Structure formats: structure tokens, C-alpha cells
Amino acid sequence: MNPSTLKSTTRQTRIICVPCDLKKHLKIINDAFAYRKFLEKTIDRFPELFPPEICCGFEIKESRYSKKLKVFQRRILVNNISYTIKPSCFMPYMTGITDEVEKGLFLRKYNVPYEALSYVFDHNAMYWYRLETHFGRYSLVGTTIKEASRLPQHVVADEKHTRLLKDKVYIATTCAQGCFVGVSVVKEADEKSLTSAYGVFKKEAQQVEQDYAPKTVNVDGWKATQNAWLNQFKNISLIFCFFHVFLGLKKTVTKEFRGIFRTIADKLWNCYQAPNKASFSQRVRYLLEWATKNSVPKRMLEKIANLRKNRDSFKVAYDHPLAYRTSNLLDRLMSRMDHHLFDTQYFHGSISQAELQIRAWALIHNFAPSTLVTIRKHDGWQSPAEHLNRFRYCDNWLHNLLVSAHRAERKRSPPNPL
């Protein structure tokens, strides 16, 4: 389901999600004075979670009882508008206790089937399916990225080819800084479809910062992808993936030419490591001259000649030192996506269900804890989203995701009427 086709929010969201564990919530919920103190501290620490008018004060209203979870929630009155305070210890629509379902949802990062979650953690398979796919309705960019200053100036984009029942579909994927920031499913890989798919990333990013536009995007040689990005961002610089040159050469190698390919590969990466444009052009020219003199097979020679012909496209990267020159980041994340799609037997049902499912999985990937080795490497930040933002609302990843998602929803909503 393309989020751009969803019914747009027509009013300010009336739910405020705040970081709070269940034990603390139960302790203060029946004490209006204690609850006010808790909210005042939360407003001081995380003002972005609340409507701007709260700086003029708020009024604590009556408690409301949830029959689903048999707990109470508070409401507040801000500028004559009532808001429900939803602590992060409760799942959306009061479908569960966050601490009771977070381990099951964490295992979805590793593609554990819903039936297995049902056997280990109770509830039925559809319960876990609905919990997960609800995340697909959140803004992927707004939930993952807390502040406009953290929006990526350089991204990598490509399409993942997969199946929806018997039909081929494509997942237009955008990545940056270890996170999925754009995921959209389309039926065709033509320019029109991809423009719409990558437009979802643009729309969500511009809800964080109105005039946002990345400086560069790393793409492969597919013309429709290149045109789709140019259609969305007129001044963006396209950077061709150098790794695809290597892969193109590798595909031409036969058993008898493996030895010469290793020599060419070394020379090719020597071109990649050139310190400036002039050096890059010189090394590519020397590589072509060497290949011509040493009777390199025709198909390999054609690939090297194409590199020489398109060298100006690869030299664009030298104007943007922080840009992605290869698609390695996206390839690593797409490899995990590929395993996920294989383990789940690809997509079933409608394309809208497929989009919800893959967006939800991408969001779980962004927020679920990484391995201990990766956490130590990233200075203790537990997930890609934490490492990107250098920030977290809660130590528990699912609490952090829920609070971040509601913060993003508040930014997407129109302002309160005066």
C-alpha cells in the first residue's frame, strides 16, 4: 500500500505517546498530582512529543478505563482540546502490553514464523501478524529520524525484484546510514512507477523538513531509476555505483581467464582509489591501454571501454566526498531483505498488504537491537536508528519505536485551529 494513496490525516492526532514503563504507570495513574509531576518532567525532557500550545499549560482530566487491558489512562486538556496520554508500555489500540510482546516482535527481525511466535508467546498467528503490520502505517523516515539535521544528504537506491503470488513486483528501496529510509512496492519498474515509489520517501522526508532534498543518490545503470530520482529532486547528483563495474566484469569471466581477471580486478580497484578526478581518468586510461596490449578477452575489454566512456559519470563522486560511491550499504540491507522474503515465501494477498508488511519489517530492522559486536562498535547504541540519531527515548527498543512513531505522526498532522 503506497502511503501516498492512504486517506490523509484531517485533524491533529489526539494521542500523545510518552516513554513510561508499566510499573511506573500503575503507580501514578490514580494520583493526579503525581501524574502532573510526571508529565511536567516529560515535557521538559521531550517537548517534541507534545503540541506546541502545551507551553501555556495543561489541565489533567478524568481517567479512562480500557476494557481490553483492564487499565486506566489519563487525558489532558491543552488549548481546549483533549488529548489521551498513552504510555509506551501499551501497544497501539491497547492490543497488548509492550514488554510482553517485544521479544516476539524482535524475533520477526530474524523471520521467525507467526505460528512459532503463537506457540511460544501465546495468542494466535493473526494476532502477531496484525501487531507487526500496523507498524507499516507509520512514516518510515519520520519514525527513524528524529531531527531534520539528521536527514541524510547522501542516499543509495535500487529495486529489489520479488514476487506477489505469481506476479513479479519490485521494492523501491532507499537506504542511508545503516537504515531503511524508503520502501515501496510497485508492479512495474518503469519510470512512472518508480517515480511514484521513490516519491514516498520524498513525501515523508519533507514532513520532517519541508525543503529537504538530498545532494546525491548512488544508483546502478537502470535508466528508469535515474530518471525517477531526477523527477523527484531536480538538482540531485547521480553517482554511478563503481561496484557494478566490477560485477559486470566478473560476469564475463570464464574458467580459463580467472587469472587475468584477478589482475584486472586489482587494477580496477586501483582506479577506484584514485585521489582526484585527473588521477582517476589517468588510471582508467592506463587500464584500457594495458587491457588492449595484453589481449584481454573481447567481452572484458568492452566493459573496460565502457568504463572509460562513462568516466565523467563516476567522477561526480569527487565533488561529494561523503557520498556513497558503491552500493555496499544497500546490498547488505537488501541481502537481509532477500532472506526475509525467502523465509516468508514472498508476498501473498494484495499489493497494499505487501507494502504494509515490508515497511513494518524495515522499521523493526531499524529499531530492533543489533548484535553485541555491532553495539560495541557503535559506542553502545543498540540499533541502527539509535546510532543514526545518537539518541533514544527508552532502553527498550519497542518502547523507543512507539514513542518515535507518535512523534512522527504529530509532525505529519496539520496545526491546531485557532
Residues of the chain with CATH 3.30.420.10: 140-240+327-363
Note the pLDDT of residue 296: 84
CB of 162 within 8 A of CB of 136?
Answer: no
Backbone φ/ψ region at 120: left (φ over 0), alpha (ψ -120 to 50), beta: alpha
Length of the chain: 418
What is the rounded CA–CA span in Å between residue 158 and residue 326?
A: 12
Note the pLDDT of residue 2: 53
Note the pLDDT of residue 261: 86
Note the pLDDT of residue 415: 44
What are the beta bridge partners of residue 16?
85
Note the pLDDT of residue 14: 87
Biggest CA-to-CA distance, the chain: 85
What are the beta bridge partners of residue 184?
172
The pTM score is 0.90
What is the rounded CA–CA span in Å between residue 221 and residue 336?
A: 23
Burial class (CB in 10 A: 0-12, 13-18, 19+), 382: buried
| Identity of the residue numbered 221 | G
**Angle between helical axes of 125-134 and 98-107 (0-180°, round to 10):** 90
The three-class DSSP label of residue 239 is strand
CATH no. of 140-240+327-363: 3.30.420.10
| DSSP 8-state assignment for residue 90 | B
CA distance readout (Å), 32 to 59, 65, 93:
10, 15, 23
Give per-10-residue mean pLDDT for the chain (418 aa).
46 82 94 94 95 92 88 92 94 94 96 96 95 96 95 96 95 96 96 96 95 95 94 95 90 81 91 95 94 87 91 92 94 95 93 96 97 91 96 96 93 50
Burial class (CB in 10 A: 0-12, 13-18, 19+), 114: buried
